[in-house]
Amino acid sequence: MKRLLVIAATLLGMAALLFLGLWWSLQQFLAAPLPLSQPLTLVVSKGAGLAAITQQLSNAGVIGHPLLFRLGTMWMGRTKALQAGEYAFEPGMSHRLLIDKMALGEVVVHRFTLVEGRTVRQLLDELKAEPALEGEVGPLPGEGRLLPETYNFILGETRSQMIARMQRAMDQALMEAWNGRDEGLLLSSPTELLILASIVERETGLAAERPHVAAVFHNRLKKGMRLQSDPTAIYALSDGLGVLERPLSRADLENPSPFNTYVVDRLPPAPIANPGRASLMAVAHPQVSNDLYFVADGTGGHVFAATLEAHNQNVARWRQIEKERGK
């Protein structure tokens, strides 16, 4: 009987030692840094189990010991928790942190920025050039219907989904501006606010100027004056691209396009670009001003005037600046 007890105790002791040895090895492994000398990005496919994920990580040189990785994952209770997706692994990251990262689905977050004032044609090229988006672009909404912002997305999102997000964001931003607009504005619909905001967006890149530029256009609308906005003439001449690789000529300003506000009354039939929130709010809440004119001041901004006489003086100064610059 004593002999049996001794054998049992010995076996239990050996089992305990083996368990402690395994536990110690796992703890050491989980705490050890990944065998990486530089950052590495890896895409784990959907439906991959622990064995397949372990093999993929091992083949890529991300983990130090496949068997210990599997045992460590099971020890942490993450056997079925590892998620598919695109992951970024850094030198110095521990195996434990890697397992937690994949179990929590902390995948790589990409960013796509639609810059204020971009046209739909320009956006089309940028979407096609974004490698982390998938699928075809599909049908595009009308000009001005996408909100310029930075959008976060993960690998697998499609270009059509990105466009839909931009469109929803613009719908929301436009209605916020429309519902909170100042009283007395000669705008009959949210679409007219959007159209005018797109013109303001293309007229100035200075956020502080936008309410003043918006005020000029509102004042001209109230007086029945044509907006005479160069960006509208450029949009018409560039077939919707919004960029012209030469100066505008007098003949350009007489182009009989419905987008050219030198020849049409009030507003164009549609936006000429995708305006940002600041331009939407500038049109909804224009600066209090009597100004009817503005022209470039040579520093990236504009100088404003309430009378044609003062405006002509400002134009003469601007032409002198251009002459001195050799243009």
- How confident is the model over 11-61, as pLDDT tens digits? 555 555 455 566 667 788 888 899 999 999 999 988 899 999 999 999 999
| Contact by Cβ (8 Å): 15, 22 | no
Q: Which domain holds residue 145?
A: 110-168
Which pair of structure tokens corresponds to residue 179? Answer: 């519902």
As a whole number, mean pLDDT of residues 57-86 equals 91
Q: What is the pLDDT of residues 207-266, one digit of tens each?
A: 999 999 999 999 999 999 999 999 999 999 988 888 877 888 888 898 999 999 999 999
Provide the pLDDT for residue 8. 54
> How many domains does the structure of the chain reveal?
3
| Contact by Cβ (8 Å): 217, 196 | yes
Dump the DSSP string for 156-182: T-BHHHHHHHHHHHHHHHHHHHHHTPP
13 domain-assigned: no
User: Could you tell me the pLDDT band of residue 130, with boundaries at 50, 70 and 90?
Assistant: very high
Residues 235 and 318 in one domain: yes
| Contact by Cβ (8 Å): 72, 41 | no
Burial class (CB in 10 A: 0-12, 13-18, 19+), 106: middle
The single-letter code of the amino acid at 268 is P
Residues 69 and 163 in one domain: no
As a whole number, mean pLDDT of residues 170-187 equals 96
Provide the pLDDT for residue 185. 94
Residues 122 and 219 in one domain: no
What is the chain's Cα-based Rg? 31
309 domain-assigned: yes
Q: Please tell me whether the overall predicted TM-score, pTM, comes out greater than 0.95 for this model.
A: no
Q: Up-side HSE of residue 266: CA atoms within 13 Å toward CB?
A: 9
Looking up tokens 């810059």 gives 115
